[in-house]
Amino acid sequence: MQLPAPKSRLPGVGTTIFTVMSDAASAHGAVNLSQGFPEFDPPAELRELVTWHMAASHNQYAPMAGLPDLRALLSARAAASTGQQADPDTEITITAGATEALFCAIQALLHPGDEAVVLDPAYDSYAPVVTLAGARPRHVALAFDPESLEFSIDWVQLGAVMNDATRLVIVNFPHNPTGALLDADDLERLADLLEQYDSLLLSDEVYEHIVFDGRRHSSVMSNKRLWRRSLVVSSFGKSLHATGWKIGYCMAPGVLSQELRKIHQFTTFSVSTPMQHALAEYLARCPDFADNLSRFYENKRDHFLAALEGSRFRFTPARSTFFQLLDYSALSSKKDTELALEWTRSPGVASIPLSVFSEAAPAYRLLRFCFAKDKSTLVDAAHRLRAL
Least spacing, CB of residue 204 vs ligand PMP, in Å:
5
Beta carbon nearer to ligand GLN, 144 or 207: 207
**18: partner contacted, choices ligand PMP, ligand GLN, none (Cβ within 5-8 A by kind):** ligand GLN
Helix (H), strand (E) at residue 366? strand 366-370
Least spacing, CB of residue 303 vs ligand GLN, in Å:
20
Here's the x/- map for ligand GLN, 22-51, by CB under 6 A: it reads as -------------xx---------------
**49: partner contacted, choices ligand PMP, ligand GLN, none (Cβ within 5-8 A by kind):** none
In whole angstroms, give the CA distance from residue 384 to residue 185: 42
Residues in 228-247 at the binding interface with ligand PMP, rule: CB under 6 A? 235, 237, 243, 246
- CA-closest candidate to residue 202, choices 354, 114, 132, 98: 98
Here's the x/- map for ligand PMP, 11-40, by CB under 6 A: it reads as -------------------------x----
Least spacing, CB of residue 287 vs ligand GLN, in Å:
26
| Chain residue whose CB lies nearest ligand PMP | 97
In whole angstroms, give the CA distance from residue 173 to residue 183: 10
The amino acid present at 165, given as its one-letter code, is: A
- CA-closest candidate to residue 318, choices 340, 300, 337, 336: 300
Residue range at the interface with ligand PMP (CB under 6 A); choices 1-9, 96-104, 108-116, 347-355: 96-104
**337: partner contacted, choices ligand PMP, ligand GLN, none (Cβ within 5-8 A by kind):** none
Residues forming a β-bridge with 323: 370
Q: Which long-range contacts (CB under 8 A, 24 or more apart) does 301-305 make?
A: 301/212, 301/371, 303/371, 303/375, 303/378, 303/379, 304/369, 304/371, 304/378, 304/381, 304/382
Q: What is the signed CA dihedral for 320, 323, 328, 332, rounded to 10 degrees?
A: -150
Determine which residue in the list 91, 120, 204, 298 makes contact with ligand PMP, applying CB under 6 A: 204
CB 175 within 8 A of CB 203: no
Q: Can you give the binding site for ligand PMP, defined by CB under 6 A? A: 36, 97-99, 123, 172, 176, 204, 206, 235, 237, 243, 246, 248
